Amino acid sequence: MTLALEIPKLTIGSIREGLLKRRFSATELTREALRFAEAENPKTNAYLHFCPERALSAARSVDEKLARGEDPGLLAGVPVAVKDVIVTKGVRTTAASKMLADYIPPYDATAVECLDAAGAVILGKTNCDEFAMGSSNENSAFGPVRNPVDPERVPGGSSGGSAAAVAQGTAVVSLGSDTGGSVRQPASFCGVVGLTPTYGRVSRYGLIAFASSLDHIGVVARNVSDTATLLQVIAGRDERDSTSAAVPVPDYMAALNGGVRGMKIGLPREYFKDPDSETSKLVLDGVEVLKRLGCEVREISMPHTEYAVAAYYIICTAEASSNLARYDGVRYTFRSRDSETLADMYRNTRGEGFGAECKRRIMLGTYVLSAGYYDAYYLKAQKVRTLIARDFTEAFREVDALIAPVSPFPAFKLGEKLDDPMQMYLSDIYTITASLAGVPCMSVPCGVTSGGLPVGMQILTRHFDEAGMLRLAYAFERNRA
Amino acid sequence: MSSHVLPDTEVLARYEAVIGLEVHVQLATRSKIYCACPTSFGDPPNTNVCPVCLGLPGALPVLNRAAVEMAMKAAMALNCRIRPVSRLARKNYFYPDLPKGYQISQYDEPLAEHGYIEVTSGGSRRRIGITRIHLEDDAGKSLHEGFSDSSRYTYVDLNRSGTPLIEIVSEPDIRTSEEAYEYLTALKQVLQYIGVSTCDMEKGHLRCDANVSVRPRGETKFGTKAEVKNLNSFRFLKQALDYEISRQVSLIESGEEVIQETRLYDPDTGETVGMRSKEHAHDYRYFPEPDLLPLTISDEWRERVRAEMPELPAQKRARFIETYGLREYDAQVLTATRELSEYFERVAEVSGDARAAANWVMGDLAAALNAEGKEISESPVSAEQLGELVALISKGEISGKMAKDIFQKMLATGESARAIVEREGLRQISDTGELEALINQVLEQHPRQVEQYRSGKTQVLGYLVGQVMKASRGQANPAAVNKLLRAKLG
Ligand SMILES: [Zn+2]
């Protein structure tokens, strides 16, 4: 098989083998991967831009290490896509916003430094909802992303480009970001694996903030093993992010092969309100597989789930309204021309530079933090957040993992929910509870609907138990029919 | 806003002012509060910057522990209670030199609360309450002038962005502009003492705003307050408060109302002017900073910082009186700054004569420095050198009069007292044998005065002493001469 044909099927393991056996060099692979990705990209618009120079320079350094007999790193030569809300030194980083259309960061995010150090080859930056705000990738200033499974449908969001690129084969793995489900939901819609680690497990330094207390960098891959490897590379304490945790990072790849027999699984009844839906059925079929593997399954209750959407959209918009204040036209952003006064310059710049969803959230967030409303909205939402976190603590006293759907429905059609932001917000119901609690969670493909659309099964575990979560996902992946 | 006819002192005397001060103090850390950039002053614009203090997308703050420790020291010096857990909070507003669109400050859970400072005003000591002390980052600077296109553009320099500040908020315990002046003076003295700030007002290291209201004497309710900004020198503070108090009194006297507003002090006119309401109608939308963990100060950390606290001015004053037997006033003067107090203590130590040391430091040295416009830190005579000079007097090796001449030479040349004494042969003659020879010589030359003395006109003794001093070219020990002469004339 020629290298070009192999590209969409490559895994971290097959690349490592190919490089070590000298079947191809990292430079050859990178050239081929770039050629393939650039050719395929118009089908999905998954990438916003490529960075061939940076990619080839990374590849050359892998080849040099191999030539010197040095360890080229866990991700040596692996073509990676990075969501365009994660800053890359010298490579345009737009957050899919007109506001940052020409912004070239002078520094790398910590996660990107980790990729570099592990020998990864960043091919380019992936499309997403503007400033990661959205669940369909239709809020990009540079056009929506199409689902590789069905181009009439959305890939999910906000990390739609990162999921689509991996599903399409134009990247082996990718970095996304997850604030309320933005890695898991697109992974589910595109039929790939998406993992969001514990809050504090991966540094947020260099992740363009949407809602700081909820933002996570997450990973997307075509299988659980690659997911584990990518997480291994980016996890760990970072002095530059005060909220990153000084918890030792276990060997995730080694953890994959432990058994799951006797593992206790909880099914929160609040997540299966519609047991007859195709999505619920596919997830419950998945649970049967786990039962066969010796897991003990029981139903549990997460009583505060119904308040999660409201609490989430108050907290995330409040933080967003502050995080997005820096895009004011004064320094590196887009600036509206010909404003008479400073106030006009602010108004025009922000009016023209932000898309509708960003403006909606800035206004909501400004409102909930305003004098006289803070207690009724923001403070109350924080209390709900505490109760939801407590639901998880209680649940994890009884069980080792929770299984739930990722989304109430599979990928929907472009434009289908665009006019109804409330419907769009409500569709995040199954993912935002984990975001509020900061527990690790992932989406693993568990089947397709009668219409051929992928559905993901969500696994959630205790804080910092990514190893247990990956082990369960790996066992499921290997044993599902 | 029309100018007001200001009320006369009789009318003013019927009112009482209620003043609270908000003082921003720049902490003397080497690096900024949320990044590692240097805090140095006067570098080319936008050179001491990084992604964090530029507010670049994706950058995150990391709290500088040195800034926290300095704030803790300020809190301890101002008798505040330090919270075991406090919180950083975002204060949101738009301004071109505020790169993040918010300051990271503290709101409802500040670092420290419930303190006080003692001030002396009108001869009596009073406690002024400190409501709170909190940490925050400074903004950059907008440069409106100095560029060829300044008529059209404002430039922004972000070197100052992220410089650590503490804000010290007083209770509304201040009643007069003099008291406000004394409060700020005491605050500055304490903060300089503990080394947390240079408090250099000209460099903006100490900035002051005031909340001012007036009420008829005897009234217990507060009047409507105005916030007066831009009180950035001690002189302006007093002038602005006096003006504002008069303005409010005259409004009330003429049946008008004081409106709650922000007013800007204009040093050129000496008046305060109301700012257009739009400019200060801020809702800062404070909320806890999600990028930083709550600031936890353990007992251990707090006590370690407490152990590093230097002696405070009030403690030092008491010790100077106790240990050195100084008068209250002298102790006050000598503890005005930490540098002066340390200089004095060194002179006292080297000389072994604290009282004489105090007199020299407050007398000849202070006069010399004043004449040159120099600070104690710039003294051409070191504390060790002055101590040696005082010791020479105490031991009787030189006379006080000689010492004054020697001190002038020390000032001019920087030489040590002993070097000057030895080079110029300026030692004091106390040796009895040597003095007797001189006395015998003088007595022989002045038989008439000897006769007068012996016949009861003892006042000629002074003349004879003077003659002996003259014969010794000023080097004779006058006390010894006096004693020996009396014995001889006996
Ligand atoms: Zn900096």
The pLDDT tens digits of the residues spanning A227-245 come to: 999 999 999 999 999 999 9
Q: Is A374 on the interface with B (CB under 8 A)?
A: yes
**Residues B433-440: what's their mean pLDDT?**
81
Q: Which two tokens stand for residue A68?
A: 């010197």
Could you write out the DSSP letters of every residue in B459-471? GGHHHHHHHHHHH
Residue B40, classified by CB atoms within 10 Å of its CB into exposed (0-12), middle (13-18) or buried (19+), is exposed
Of B424, B447, B480, the position where a domain reaches its end is B424
Q: Of A61-65, A206-210, A303-307, B486-490, where does mean pLDDT reach its minimum? A: B486-490
How much of chain A exceeds pLDDT 70, in percent?
100
- Specify the residue for token string 């369960």: A472
CATH number at residue B459: 1.10.10.410
Quick check: is B69 in a domain? yes
Pick the residue with more confidence: A216 or B402? Answer: A216
Is 50 exceeded by the pLDDT of residue B2?
A: no
Domain containing residue B103: 9-300
Quick check: is B1 in a domain? no
Q: What is the pLDDT of residues A435-464, one digit of tens each?
A: 999 999 999 999 999 999 999 999 999 999
Q: What single-letter DSSP state applies at residue A119?
A: T
| Predicted local distance difference test score (pLDDT) of residue A451 | 95
Most A-contacting residue of B37, B60, B98 (CB-CB within 10 A), to test interface: B60
| Helices and strands in chain B, H and E counts | 18, 16
B80 with B147, same domain? Answer: yes
> A181 vs A217, A218, A348, A427, A453, CA distance in Å?
11, 10, 32, 10, 19
Residues 6+ apart with CB under 8 A from B172: B18, B19, B20, B211, B213, B222
- State the Cα–Cα distance between residues B307 and B64, nearest whole angstrom: 20
| Predicted local distance difference test score (pLDDT) of residue B466 | 84
Q: Which two tokens stand for residue B154?
A: 């404002």
Hey, what long-range contacts does A350-356 have (CB within 8 A, 24 or more apart)? Answer: A352/A98, A353/A97, A353/A98, A353/A99, A353/A327, A353/A329, A354/A97, A354/A98, A354/A99, A354/A130, A354/A324, A354/A327, A355/A97, A355/A98, A355/A130, A355/A139, A355/A141, A356/A139
Quick check: is B117 in a domain? yes
B352 with B227, same domain? Answer: no
Residues 377..406 of A with a Cβ closer than 8 Å to B: which?
Answer: 378
Three-class SS state of A374:
coil
B293 with B184, same domain? Answer: yes
Most B-contacting residue of A89, A103, A330 (CB-CB within 10 A), to test interface: A330
B99 with B194, same domain? Answer: yes
Asked if A322's CB is within 8 angstroms of B102's CB, the reply is yes
- Specify the residue for token string 């240990």: B323
**Residues B268-274: what's their mean pLDDT?**
87
B315 with B219, same domain? Answer: no
Of B276, B300, B324, the position where a domain reaches its end is B300
**Residues B461-489: what's their mean pLDDT?**
81
Q: How far is A328 from chain B (nearest CA, A)?
A: 8
Between the CA of B55 and the centroid of ligand 1 the distance, in Å, is 9
- The B-side interface with A (CB below 8 A) comprises 51, 54-63, 90, 92, 94, 96, 99-102, 156, 283, 285-287, 290-293
Is 80 exceeded by the pLDDT of residue B429?
A: no
Is 90 exceeded by the pLDDT of residue B12?
A: no
Is 70 exceeded by the pLDDT of residue B323?
A: yes
Residue B474, classified by CB atoms within 10 Å of its CB into exposed (0-12), middle (13-18) or buried (19+), is middle
Quick check: is B306 in a domain? no
- State the Cα–Cα distance between residues B154 and B26, nearest whole angstrom: 25
Q: Are B25 and B191 in contact (CB under 8 A)?
A: yes
B178 with B242, same domain? Answer: yes
Q: What is the pLDDT of residues B382-421, one digit of tens each?
A: 888 888 888 888 877 777 778 888 888 888 888 888 888 7
Total structural domains within chain B: 3
**Domain annotation for chain A: domains and CATH numbers:** 3-255 (3.90.1300.10)
Q: How far is A267 from chain B (nearest CA, A)?
A: 31
| Predicted local distance difference test score (pLDDT) of residue B1 | 42
Q: What is the pLDDT of residues B149-182, one digit of tens each?
A: 988 889 999 999 999 999 999 999 999 999 999 9
| Predicted local distance difference test score (pLDDT) of residue A54 | 98
Q: Return the ∠ at Cα B110 (arms to B107 and B113), rounded to 5°.
A: 130
Phi, psi of B87 (to 5 degrees): -135, 140
Quick check: is B2 in a domain? no
What one-letter code names the amino acid at B302? R
Quick check: is B3 in a domain? no
Q: Are A357 and A425 in contact (CB under 8 A)?
A: no
Residue A89, classified by CB atoms within 10 Å of its CB into exposed (0-12), middle (13-18) or buried (19+), is middle
Average of per-residue pLDDT values in chain A: 96
B43 with B156, same domain? Answer: yes
The predicted complex's ipTM stands at 0.96
B195 with B319, same domain? Answer: no
**Residues A111-124: what's their mean pLDDT?**
98
Phi, psi of A371 (to 5 degrees): -55, 130
Q: Are B25 and B165 in contact (CB under 8 A)?
A: yes
B269 with B388, same domain? Answer: no
Q: Which two tokens stand for residue B422?
A: 């030895």
Contacts with A331 from chain B: Cβ below 8 Å: 54-55, 99, 156
**Cis peptide bond prior to B31, omega within 30° of 0:** no
**Residues B288-313: what's their mean pLDDT?**
95
B410 with B438, same domain? Answer: no
**Residues A79-93: what's their mean pLDDT?**
98
B175 with B92, same domain? Answer: yes
Q: What is the pLDDT of residues A32-64, one digit of tens each?
A: 999 999 999 999 999 999 999 999 999 999 999
Tell me how far apart the 2 most distant CA atoms of chain A are, in Å: 70
Between the CA of B157 and the centroid of ligand 1 the distance, in Å, is 13
Among residues B412, B413, B393, B379, the alpha carbon closest in space to that of B479 is found at: B393
Q: Which two tokens stand for residue B269?
A: 């006119």
Is 70 exceeded by the pLDDT of residue B279?
A: no
Of B424, B443, B478, the position where a domain reaches its end is B424
Within A41-152, residue ranges assigned H as helices are 52-67, 110-117
Quick check: is B4 in a domain? no
Q: pTM of this prediction?
A: 0.89
- Dihedral over Cα of B272, B276, B279, B282: its sign: positive
Contacts with B60 from chain A: Cβ below 8 Å: 204-205, 240-242
B353 with B275, same domain? Answer: no
Is 60 exceeded by the pLDDT of residue B280?
A: no
- State the Cα–Cα distance between residues B273 and B271, nearest whole angstrom: 6
Quick check: is B221 in a domain? yes
Nearest CA in chain A to B96: A330
Among residues A481, A464, A461, the alpha carbon closest in space to that of A263 is found at: A461
Q: What is the pLDDT of residues B339-371, one digit of tens each?
A: 999 999 999 888 888 888 898 889 888 888 888
| Predicted local distance difference test score (pLDDT) of residue B452 | 87
Q: Is A103 on the interface with B (CB under 8 A)?
A: yes
Q: What is the pLDDT of residues A125-159, one digit of tens each?
A: 999 999 999 999 999 999 999 999 999 999 999 99
- State the Cα–Cα distance between residues A308 and A314, nearest whole angstrom: 10
